[in-house]
Amino acid sequence: MTLGRILGIDLGEKRVGLAISDPSQMIASPLGKLEFKTEQQLIVEIEAVVKQKEVKEIVVGYPLRTSGKKGELALFAERMASLLKNRLGLEVHLWDERMSTQGAERALLEADLSRSKRKQVRDQVSAGLILQSFLESRRGGI
């Protein structure tokens, strides 16, 4: 395992939440969100973030259904992970994110944020939860 920043990605149909680890891969922090119209546009924008933040690996949320079966978003995640790996030459991991959106919503409700504020940050908080669980699993915490 090489140390360096890891980018966490929570894919949605129109928006993508981003989170990034510190270089020692201990803590995930929300980074922002991207809105996109095409997969190609999204790949280019993620590539820019990867270069700017000197990312060494990528974790893409893998939204399996509660049954474990793949839906359209899971297939989209597989496609994006493959495209990113081929374009950037980085290791790209798919990470089960089934509970991240609910966890993000719960955390935001506990923070007593308004509905509009929650909507603005939900994607990046979800990306942070995905990345943090990945980091903890590497350390044997999960």
What local confidence, expressed as pLDDT, does residue 124 receive?
84
Going by the DSSP 8-state scheme, the letter that residue 137 receives in this structure is H
Mean pLDDT on 62-90: 93
* 106 pLDDT more than 70: no
Tally of CA atoms within 13 A in the half-sphere of 29 that contains its CB: 9
* 83 pLDDT more than 90: yes
Contact yes or no for 122/105 (Cβ under 8 A) = yes
pTM recorded for the entire structure: 0.85
Contact yes or no for 17/122 (Cβ under 8 A) = yes
Two tokens at 56?
A: 């060494």
Does domain 5-138 fall under CATH 3.30.420.140? My reply is yes
What local confidence, expressed as pLDDT, does residue 25 receive?
96
Indicate the range of 49-63, 96-110, 119-133 predicted with least confidence.
Answer: 96-110
The one-letter code for the residue type at 81 is A
Mean pLDDT on 79-89: 97
Mean pLDDT on 55-73: 91
Mean pLDDT on 27-50: 96
